[in-house]
Structure 1
Amino acid sequence: MISHRFPLYAILLALAGCSAQPGPPPQIAATAARPLKLASWNLEFLAEKEGAGCEPRAANDYLAMRRIADSLDADVIAFQEAENVKAAERVFDPARYTVVMEKRPGEASGTCGGRHPDQTFIRQAVGFAIRKGITFDRNPDVTSLMLGNPQLRSGIDITVRARGHDPIRLLGIHLKSGCFEGSEAKACPVLLQQVPAVEAWIDAAATGPERFAVLGDWNRRLGSPGDSSWNDIDDGQPANADLRLADAGTPPSCDPRYDAFIDHIVLDKRAGAAMAGFTETHYASGEKHYSDHCPIAVTLAR
């Protein structure tokens, strides 16, 4: 009897092993479930060299800004007002992020005035910092935003293919400053020509296969009731141009000087359905503000 029991016992153990396969290690499951985090930060005249530009900085300022950028723990950060890739890499660790920037050379000239009248302007450009390991495609820059003026920023256009997430097309922008609401300010004729160019990009992207978002410094209070620029772009035509303003209903709280956002993350219908949260990063209590803008971010569940 004993000689017949052992083979049967062995067979039962083998069958039990086949029926219960171990799941993935906890750390792998956690990585797969991580939301996709998109951020935007205007770096305020970020120069490559210390002491340069309209917001001259010391070495410790760059280190503090890198600490803030690291703390965002974002997958993609749209940034504005950086002089060049080397300037951006002083904030976005090149061991952690790949930096791409608009190709427009710009024609920076003149002096800064204000607190730094003896300082000269630097190039102000837009770009993206993309977490290492994330695949992306670089699409042609959106030069229509320049309106033929080399001083106006073009848009930077990428398609991100993060593992475990649907692809998403991202447009980083920095529109003309000075037309925060209405249409009467001196800068309004320029910005109100740029808005249709953004809308044209949105409408074209809305017919494409990838969801999309437009991130950056819009220099416009899109969340104000009845804002004409928001009404123009959020017309629901095509269907995926039924947009979601990530900060809708959320007032800024980082800087007491401002009661409405001008930095925005705008999601199309598909990306908006995946939005899991919106955040604004504050500078530490008592800490100097290293930029006149505070980082904002949105998380997407898929």
Structure 2
Amino acid sequence: MRIRLTVAGLVLSGLLVACTGTPPREAVPTLKIAAWNIEHLAERDGSGCRPRAEADYAALRAHVKRLAADVIAFAEVESAAAAARVFPPDDYLIVMSDRPDSRRDYFCRRDAASGPRINKQDVGFAIRRSVKFTRHADLAALGLGDPDLRWGVDVTIEATRPLRLLSVHLKSGCSAGVEREACPILFEQVPVLERWMAERRAEGVDFAVLGDFNRRLAVAGDRVWRELNGDGISLIDAAGGEGSRCVERYADFIDHIVLDPGAARRMVAGSFEQFDYGVPEAEHPSDHCPIAVRVR
């Protein structure tokens, strides 16, 4: 009799799922979203501040395959053609910032009078072709009117319900504190992000801001984190207090996946990942390691 009841219960459970159309929680599909600063990814071999050969691009493609992310917010990429050398066009669509080239000509080393010259650095997304998305206008206001500051790239992806994503690469040189020369510029970018977040909240849309913030947001009392969490919002850093293991001398992340409460509820518990290149630090293909998380 117990066996019959158990079988009957299983059949009834299956019928209920079939009738309601609601799958078990573990069957709900997820998407893996990642952030990755690829360090001066150039379109041509031997170009820019991190000159690469075809073997280096091939190694990056292998890392992309291992990362197996559905959406990657990338930074420090010269062009869509450069991105396509790393993210195979058969697998990914490239969404690139529309920021015009400043046409300014700098050497890679500060105060240098000769040597390699820096290429344009931009942000964007590589989105797996199976993922439906909508592109929105770039967040040009992040550039503060300075042609050398990066814009944000803004998309909505279709997961279990829409999720708005903003890819960013903020001003470098102010990773902590308030005194360094670059800090006033970074602090001007923060209200731009706050306004973008406020607009998403007003629309009732779940969102995440991801990329290279160039800021150690997890440091206790950090000014930028405090300001972003103003006006009653409670943002969640997907790292959850975990320390960075990418570069030995830097224990804190400056790359982040920041989620609003709605997006945070959709994050798969325990899914935050620091990507390991699998080689000694001196052989890393970028000075940043990808970070990723799964969302429903």
TM-score band, normalised by the shorter chain? 0.7 to 0.9
Per the alignment, residue 86 of structure 1 pairs with 81
Per the alignment, residue 73 of structure 1 pairs with 68
Q: TM-score, normalised by structure 1?
A: 0.85
Q: Which structure 1 segments of 5+ residues have no match? A: 1-18
Alignment pair present for 1:271 and 2:267: no
SS at match of 1:122: coil
Cα distance in 1 for partners of 2:170, 2:120 equals 15
Q: TM-score, normalised by structure 2?
A: 0.87
Alignment pair present for 1:130 and 2:127: yes
Per the alignment, residue 13 of structure 1 pairs with none
**Post-superposition offset of 1:35:** 1.9
Per the alignment, residue 250 of structure 2 pairs with 258
**Post-superposition offset of 1:91:** 0.8
Per the alignment, residue 5 of structure 2 pairs with none
Instruction: State the AA in 2 paired with 1:64.
Output: A
The number of residue pairs the alignment matches comes to 275
Per the alignment, residue 233 of structure 1 pairs with 228
1:213-246 CA-partner distances (Å, limit 9, x unpaired): 0000000000111101001111253xxx321111
**Post-superposition offset of 1:121:** 1.1
Cα distance in 2 for partners of 1:89, 1:121 equals 20
Per the alignment, residue 286 of structure 1 pairs with 280
Alignment pair present for 1:41 and 2:36: yes
Cα distance in 1 for partners of 2:237, 2:220 equals 13
Per the alignment, residue 9 of structure 2 pairs with none
From the superposition, tell whether residues 224 and 73 of structure 1 become closer, same or farther in structure 2 (CA, over 3 Å): same
User: What is the percentage of aligned positions where both structures have the same residue?
Assistant: 45
Question: Which stretch shifts more, 123-132 or 107-116?
Answer: 107-116
Per the alignment, residue 112 of structure 1 pairs with 108
RMSD, aligned α-carbons: 2.5
Cα distance in 2 for partners of 1:103, 1:230 equals 28
Cα distance in 1 for partners of 2:167, 2:27 equals 26
Q: Which structure 2 segments of 5+ residues have no match? A: 1-13
Whether the 8 Å CA contact 1:236–1:243 is kept in 2: the answer is no
Alignment pair present for 1:249 and 2:238: no
SS at match of 1:141: coil
Q: Which runs of 4+ in 1 moved over 3 A?
A: 28-34, 114-117
SS at match of 2:116: strand
SS at match of 2:191: helix
**Post-superposition offset of 1:249:** 1.2
**Post-superposition offset of 1:29:** 9.5
Per the alignment, residue 168 of structure 2 pairs with 173
SS at match of 1:105: coil
Whether the 8 Å CA contact 1:39–1:296 is kept in 2: the answer is yes
| Pairing 1:199-238 to 2, within 5 Å after superposition | 199-235=194-230, 237=232
Whether the 8 Å CA contact 1:236–1:242 is kept in 2: the answer is no
**Post-superposition offset of 1:106:** 2.5
From the superposition, tell whether residues 20 and 281 of structure 1 become closer, same or farther in structure 2 (CA, over 3 Å): closer
Give the structure with higher Rg (CA).
1
Cα distance in 1 for partners of 2:167, 2:219 equals 22
1:218-277 CA-partner distances (Å, limit 9, x unpaired): 00000111101001111253xxx3211111310011221211000000001101112122
From the superposition, tell whether residues 236 and 273 of structure 1 become closer, same or farther in structure 2 (CA, over 3 Å): farther
